[in-house]
Amino acid sequence: MSDYEPVTDGGEVSDVLAVAEHRRGDLRDVSFEIISAGRELADETGGDLHLAVVAGDVDSFADQLNREGVDHIHTVAYGEEFNHDVYTQAVEALSDELSPAVVLMPNSVNGLDYAPAVANRLGLPLVSDAVAFEWDGALTATREMYGSKVETTLEVDAERVAVTIRGGEWPAAEGTGDADVAAFDAGIDEDAIGSRVTGFEEVGAGDVDISEADVLVSVGRGIEDEENIELVERLADALGATLSSSRPIVDAGWLPKNRQVGQSGKVVTPKVYLAIGISGAVQHVAGMKGSDTIIAINTDPNAPIFDIADYGVVGDLFDVVPALIEEFQ
């Protein structure tokens, strides 16, 4: 156990507890983003930032997570992969120990699995999918609705709250930190574990996680025909990039669903997002506006994609893409 003494005796609660996420041996990007989000919040609450990691190989993860801004890392050595009951018990036990003002979890598939259970067990209100927040004795959180067309502000009328944060909204924490790292015995009750991961099955050779890619070549309806997909595939190969798309391409069956960027697809935050023949509809932009650099190729100078693009080429993709392939090869 750490020597850290939380404020619990009727004092104002101010600490923030954030939970890291990993999959198949690697920490996910959101684990570093949640440090930035948690630090921002802890600076406003005036408390410490605690980071929890629940895993088999906790020591290696704790080393990687010890970045600037983290005050305390609590490791729960249990299991290799995500498990609903283990995470729920571990985060509940740590929250009981630390009494944080805010429990931050990723708004990921895993986070959405255990965050409601944690909030329920702790008797806390839950704000999901926050993209920004402020603290003024209580939390005010911003959420986006209707494909990012509308922003809603939630004022939480409670001293303590559970929150899930959207990936890609905060920068990844960097720099080496000096957090104290302590093993936490969460007292995991084996009998209360109702499910276990028994194995992983790859969906197929073409299966990739576009949300983890650094460079995305994304194709839209401007590509006109399935047989032309090969052209943008060649560009992706030449750039060492991953291929993604807008929804019509997936609806047409030209690329699998896991390549779709947007409101009903995946949220992506690559270093470079190359939008080819994509108009920039709000539902698409909702999934890629967090990209570092956006480059658009479109014949229509008034296409909305140019409103958010850092660089734009007004031109025919059937001229521009072959020229780019030649250049990069």
Residues that bind ligand FAD (CB under 6 A): 220-222, 246-248, 260-265, 277-279, 281, 283-284, 287, 297-300, 303, 316-318
Of 224, 223, 246, residue with least CA distance to 235: 223
> Which of 47, 287 has the CB closer to ligand FAD?
287
Closest CB to ligand FAD among residues 54, 303: 303
Residue 197: which of 84, 325, 65, 93 has the closest Cα? 84
Which residues face 104 on adjacent strands? 18, 163
3-state secondary structure the chain: CCCCCCCCCCCCCCCEEEECCEECCEECHHHHHHHHHHHHHHHHHCCCEEEEEEECCHHHHHHHHCECCCCEEEEEECCCCCCHHHHHHHHHHHHHHHCCCEEEEECCHHHHHHHHHHHHHHCCCEEEEECEEEECCCEEEEEEECCCCEEEEEECCCCCEEEEECCCCCCCCCCECCCEEEECCCCCCHHHCCCCCCCCCCCCCCCCCHHHCCEEEEECHHHCCHHHHHHHHHHHHHHCCEEEECHHHHHCCCCCHHHEECCCCECCCCCEEEEECCCCCHHHHCCCCCCCEEEEEECCCCCCHHHHCCEEEECCHHHHHHHHHHHHC
Identify which of residues 89 and 246 has a Cβ nearer to ligand FAD in the complex: 246
Judged by CB, which is closer to ligand FAD: 221, or 289?
Answer: 221
Nearer to ligand FAD, 64 or 264 (CB): 264
Closest contact distance (angstroms) between CB of 285 and ligand FAD is 8
Q: Under a CB-based contact definition with an 8 Å cutoff, are residues 317 and 223 in contact?
A: yes
Q: Measured from the CB of residue 148, what is the shortest distance to ligand FAD in angstroms?
A: 11
Whole-number minimum distance, CB 286 to ligand FAD, in Å? 7
**In whole angstroms, how close is the CB of 221 to ligand FAD at the nearest point?**
3
Compute the least distance from the CB of residue 263 to ligand FAD, in Å. Answer: 4
Looking at beta carbons only, is 14 or 260 nearer to ligand FAD? 260
Nearest residue to ligand FAD, scored by beta-carbon proximity: 262
- Whichever of 79 and 248 has its CB closer to ligand FAD, that residue is 248
> From the CB of 146, what's the least distance to ligand FAD, in Å?
9
In whole angstroms, how close is the CB of 67 to ligand FAD at the nearest point?
32
Shortest Å, Cβ 164 to ligand FAD: 20
Shorter beta-carbon distance to ligand FAD: residue 14 or 298: 298
